[in-house]
């Protein structure tokens, strides 16, 4: 097993996850089986209880693990399926250590960060790295370990120490340390500054880890002088100083690293499979798309695109498949509401302008009542004007509420998530969900959806098979008591769970594309295998554009 450990310095948001995934692509292109582990040094057990404002979207895995969005990058770049254990957090390590202490495993010893926590970290990394991740039962050949946060943070120090020891446990020759840093470009002549990188490497070396490779994020390619200076001050070979400068799309990142000789430094031949050709084609294809398709995204974290990262990626995958240049028009859902017109008419008009001109409308998942009425208005607009619509999770629920209100005449239809005891409960709390604990208690992970009809648009997009496996994350569902009435009026629940009671997919009759899914298809979309609901939306939207 070869390990590539990716750490970061200076500041967060340098694209460490994309760099780490891209290194994985190069290893995979050399014919290796690659897996990955993300370390998040925070105390939470998992990302599930955190707001998207904190670290962006919560990514959901097949096993129901609610994890950091970087695992989504790994799954998409490497086309693998990871498990909850591939995201290590301090909450998880400490729970394990404390449980062992309660069992009496430490035989009377004082339990300490070193060696007990650091040993537990290393055991975890080694065990999880060996788990098959590519759908076969083969042990991976290489594991990318990404350390979240920046080196020097108090909470990441046990991990840095564990990784320092790890190189001796598995053999120095089996570990490559990659440090991602920032090279700012300053002044009128655009001088590339090396000092921040010098400092972070000094800090890392002070903790006992000497990086083998530096990856420097910069707006411009590094010049030779900067490269040599960094090599001299940071104790790396000049060839091992990589630059990740601005590129038109992220598929260029593995290519850019390959062009700078990273494969030779890693000791692999990245051209031994056809994978790099595929990446070259993909990066180029995306750069050359000219015809725009406008998708209105009606959400509530619209100034924080990381909150919808997988949805954006899925739209991108589907747009590439229909040869269109994706333009996402972000609409803050509450701006569509009437009250906004009184308070802030420009924002109201702007939001409606975007919605009116969209080729397709997407209402993504969400929690809480802010903006819900705006999302209902967006669903209404798409339904009545025959604009292609995809509702994901909450997006299915708001479209159902809209349908109950405006087609079935249930004027006060709502979800019990937003009002207590609504007069007509169109969406209700699922009986099996905990009412006391929020962490890890939703209906989570991969669950089968069984087709209820022989043919419909969304079924033909999914292709053969009696069932669809997609990942879930919700507490509420369409009220099973209303299903017959809703279906009789033309909104058909074409996919249901194994019980036949729970709605998973609806499709509206007499509409170019009006589909809601209770699951989150965005978590399984891949660059070459766009998720069927997204593809359906983009196909319908591009017929319109």
- The answer to the question of residue 77 lying near ligand GLN (CB under 6 A) is no
Active site residue 239: no
- The answer to the question of residue 516 lying near ligand GLN (CB under 6 A) is no
Among the listed ranges 36-44, 201-209, 312-320, 474-482, the one in contact with ligand GLN (CB under 6 A) is: 474-482
| DSSP, residue by residue, 425-481 | EEEEE-TTS-SS--TT-SEEEEEEEEE-SS--HHHHHH-S-SEEEEEEEESEEE-GG
Distance between terminal CA atoms of the chain? 50
- The answer to the question of residue 366 lying near ligand GLN (CB under 6 A) is yes
Going by C-beta distance under 8 Å and a sequence separation of 6 or more, which residues neighbour residue 324? Answer: 289, 291, 292, 293, 538, 542, 545
Contact residue for ligand GLN among 38, 76, 317, 474 (CB under 6 A): 474
Active site residue 520: yes
Q: How far is the CB of 367 from ligand GLN (least distance, A)?
A: 4
Q: How far is the CB of 437 from ligand GLN (least distance, A)?
A: 14
Contact residue for ligand GLN among 227, 313, 473, 502 (CB under 6 A): 473
Among the listed ranges 20-28, 157-165, 327-335, 468-476, the one in contact with ligand GLN (CB under 6 A) is: 468-476
SS3 for 61? coil
Contact residue for ligand GLN among 417, 470, 507, 522 (CB under 6 A): 417
- The answer to the question of residue 367 lying near ligand GLN (CB under 6 A) is yes
Q: How far is the CB of 394 from ligand GLN (least distance, A)?
A: 4
Q: How far is the CB of 235 from ligand GLN (least distance, A)?
A: 47
Angle between helices 309-321 and 70-78 (to 10 degrees): 20
**How many residues form the binding site for ligand GLN (CB under 6 A)?**
10
**209-219 residues labelled b (16+ CB within 10 A) or e (exposed):** bebbbbbbbbe
CA dist list (Å): 157 to 8, 153, 173, 442, 451: 13, 7, 23, 32, 50
Q: How far is the CB of 393 from ligand GLN (least distance, A)?
A: 3
Q: Which of 143, 393, 404, 456 is catalytic?
A: 393
Give dist(CA 372, CA 389) in Å, integer.
16
Among the listed ranges 219-227, 279-287, 349-357, 360-368, the one in contact with ligand GLN (CB under 6 A) is: 360-368
Pull the structure tokens for residue 174.
């089996």
Binding residues among 370-399 for ligand GLN as defined by CB under 6 A: 393-394
Residue in 382, 370, 486 with CA at minimum distance from that of residue 425: 486
Active site residue 522: yes
Q: Which of 55, 335, 381, 520 is catalytic?
A: 520
Among the listed ranges 39-47, 87-95, 299-307, 470-478, the one in contact with ligand GLN (CB under 6 A) is: 470-478
Contact residue for ligand GLN among 159, 340, 348, 476 (CB under 6 A): 476
Q: In this structure, are residues 24 and 141 in contact, taking their beta carbons and an 8 Å threshold?
A: no
Our CB check for ligand GLN shows the closer of 17 and 365 to be 365
**272-283 residues labelled b (16+ CB within 10 A) or e (exposed):** eeebbeebeebb
Q: Is 291 exposed, middle or buried (0-12, 13-18, 19+ CB in 10 A)?
A: exposed
Among the listed ranges 175-183, 239-247, 283-291, 361-369, the one in contact with ligand GLN (CB under 6 A) is: 361-369
Our CB check for ligand GLN shows the closer of 28 and 524 to be 524
Q: How far is the CB of 381 from ligand GLN (least distance, A)?
A: 20
Pull the structure tokens for residue 492.
């058909």
Q: In this structure, are residues 159 and 168 in contact, taking their beta carbons and an 8 Å threshold?
A: no
Beta strand ranges found along 285-439 (DSSP E): 292-299, 325-332, 360-363, 389-392, 413-415, 424-429
Tell me the per-residue interface mask from 56 to 75 with ligand GLN, x by CB under 6 A, - otherwise.
Answer: --------------------
Residues of the shown chain interacting with ligand GLN in the complex, contacts defined by CB under 6 A: 365-367, 393-394, 417, 473-476
Give the catalytic positions in this structure: 393, 520, 522
């Amino acid at each position: 097993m070869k390990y590539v450990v990716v750490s970061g310095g200076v500041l967060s948001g340098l694209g460490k996850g994309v760099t780490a995934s891209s290194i994985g692509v190069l290893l995979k292109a050399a014919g290796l089986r690659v897996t990955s582990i993300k370390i998040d040094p925070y105390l939470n057990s998992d990302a599930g209880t955190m707001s998207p404002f904190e670290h962006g979207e919560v990514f959901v895995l097949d096993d129901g693990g609610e994890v950091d969005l970087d695992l989504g990058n790994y799954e998409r770049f490497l086309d693998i399926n990871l498990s909850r254990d591939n995201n290590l957090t301090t909450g998880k390590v400490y729970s394990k250590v404390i449980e062992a202490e309660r069992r009496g495993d430490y035989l009377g010893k004082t339990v300490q960060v070193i060696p007990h926590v650091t040993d537990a970290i290393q055991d975890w990394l080694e065990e999880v790295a060996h788990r098959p991740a590519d759908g076969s039962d083969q042990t991976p050949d290489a594991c990318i370990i990404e350390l979240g946060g920046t080196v020097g943070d108090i909470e990441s120090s046990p991990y840095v120490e564990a990784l320092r020891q790890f190189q001796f446990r598995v053999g120095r020759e089996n570990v490559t340390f990659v440090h991602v840093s920032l090279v700012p470009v300053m002044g009128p002549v655009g001088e590339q500054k090396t000092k921040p990188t010098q400092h972070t490497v000094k800090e890392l070396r002070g903790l006992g880890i000497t990086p083998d490779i530096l990856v420097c994020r910069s707006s411009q390619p590094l010049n030779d002088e900067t490269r040599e200076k960094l090599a001299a001050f940071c104790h790396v070979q000049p060839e091992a100083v990589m630059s990740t400068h601005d590129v038109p799309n992220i598929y260029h990142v593995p290519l850019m690293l390959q062009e700078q000789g990273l494969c030779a430094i890693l000791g692999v031949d990245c051209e031994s499979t056809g994978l790099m050709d595929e990446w070259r084609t993909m990066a180029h294809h995306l750069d050359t798309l000219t015809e725009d398709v406008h998708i209105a995204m009606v959400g509530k974290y619209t100034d924080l695109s990381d909150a919808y990262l997988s949805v954006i990626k899925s739209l991108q995958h589907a747009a590439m498949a229909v040869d269109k240049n994706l333009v996402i028009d972000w609409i803050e859902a509450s701006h569509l509401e009437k009250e906004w017109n009184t308070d802030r008419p420009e924002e109201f008009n702007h939001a409606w302008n975007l919605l009116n001109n969209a080729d397709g409308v997407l209402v993504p998942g969400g929690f809480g009542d802010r903006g819900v009425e705006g999302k209902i208005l967006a669903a209404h607009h798409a339904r009545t004007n025959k604009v292609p619509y995809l509702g994901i999770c909450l997006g299915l629920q708001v479209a159902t509420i809209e349908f109950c209100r405006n087609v079935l005449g249930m004027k006060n239809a709502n979800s019990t998530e937003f009002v207590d005891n609504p007069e007509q409960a169109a969406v209700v709390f699922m009986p099996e969900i905990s009412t006391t604990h929020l962490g890890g208690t939703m209906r989570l992970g991969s669950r089968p959806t069984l087709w209820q009809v022989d043919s419909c648009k969304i079924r033909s997009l999914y292709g053969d098979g009696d069932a669809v496996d997609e990942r879930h994350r919700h507490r509420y569902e369409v009220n099973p008591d209303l299903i017959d009435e809703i279906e009789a009026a033309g909104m058909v629940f074409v996919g249901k769970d194994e019980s036949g009671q729970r709605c998973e997919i609806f499709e509206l009759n007499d509409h170019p594309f009006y589909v809601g899914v209770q699951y989150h298809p965005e978590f399984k979309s891949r660059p070459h295998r766009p998720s069927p609901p997204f593809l359906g939306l983009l196909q319908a939207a591009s017929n319109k554009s």
